[in-house]
Amino acid sequence: QVQLQESGPGLVKPSQTLSLTCTVSGGSISSGSYYWNWIRQPAGKGLEWIGRIYASGSTNYNPSLKSRVTISVDTSKNQFALKLSSVTAADTAVYYCTRRGEFWGQGTLVTVSS
Amino acid sequence: EIVLTQSPGTLSLSPGERATLSCRASQSVSSSYLAWYQQKPGQAPRLLIYGASSRATGIPDRFSGSGSGTDFTLTISRLEPEDFAVYYCQQYGSSPLTFGPGTKVDIK
């Protein structure tokens, strides 16, 4: 069974860069033609797709965030990562990593506040 | 970008009743790449249906999906107490991937 776990700071200051890592266990991030997503959800609101990466390193981003987002993969560590720059309070949300839509991490709350 | 609209916003039903949830896309969803998720408070979403009509692993057969093109439906044949939750549709046929705003199924 594939499992995903998000990790990273729970508090980020405005204008700084949010950095999260997703560690994959129970399967190789390189196997299959899967893509690996970051999705976020502000409190009490719906789901927003941030972007995805394939094991090859190919990426797609949400145009609304594209100028601030970088998703990368480290196959040697079986991890992929999210960086979101110039954060504001509007970026406060639970951030999820997923393998396609099948497997999800538990989510991690990131609060943007000084 | 494909915009997804879900209706109704809230569906109030009793256990044992049938639930019919709608998801409409602003343009045709490629290859019926449409998924449905269930989310309960404090939990990550759970995949129910992919490819518009295929049940994900371990999903009870009271959940079924149908539709193509721009109109999709999730049906729960007989609501169980654990089915009261928020349901989201998502298209993954074209980038950016997009979600609908959700339908809340609550107890009448």
Alpha helices in chain B (DSSP H): none
Q: Whole-number mean pLDDT of chain B?
A: 97
**Residue-level pLDDT at A67:** 94
Structure tokens at B49: 């249906």
Cβ contact B95–A100 (<8 Å): no
Q: What are the residue ranges in chain A where pLDDT is below 50?
A: none
Residue B30: band (very low, low, confident or very high) from pLDDT cuts 50, 70, 90: confident
Sheet with strand B19-25: strands edge to edge: B4-7, B19-25, B71-76, B63-68
H helices then E strands: how many in chain A?
A: 0, 11
**Residue-level pLDDT at A33:** 83
Q: Please tell me if residue A109 touches chain B, with a CB cutoff of 8 Å.
A: no
**Residue-level pLDDT at A55:** 87
Question: How confident is the model over A55-84, as pLDDT tens digits?
Answer: 889 999 999 999 999 999 999 999 999 999
DSSP string, B27-95: SPPGGG-EEEEEE-TTS--EEEEETTTEEPTT--TTEEEEEETTEEEEEESS--GGG-SEEEEEE-SSS
For A47, which of B47, B57, B88 is closest by C-beta distance? B88
Q: Give dist(CA A71, CA A53) in Å, integer.
A: 7
Residue B31: band (very low, low, confident or very high) from pLDDT cuts 50, 70, 90: confident
**Residue-level pLDDT at B103:** 98
pLDDT at residue B81 tops 90: yes
Residue B68: band (very low, low, confident or very high) from pLDDT cuts 50, 70, 90: very high
Residue B91: band (very low, low, confident or very high) from pLDDT cuts 50, 70, 90: very high
Cβ contact B96–A48 (<8 Å): no
Are B45 and B90 spatial neighbours (Cβ–Cβ below 8 Å)? no
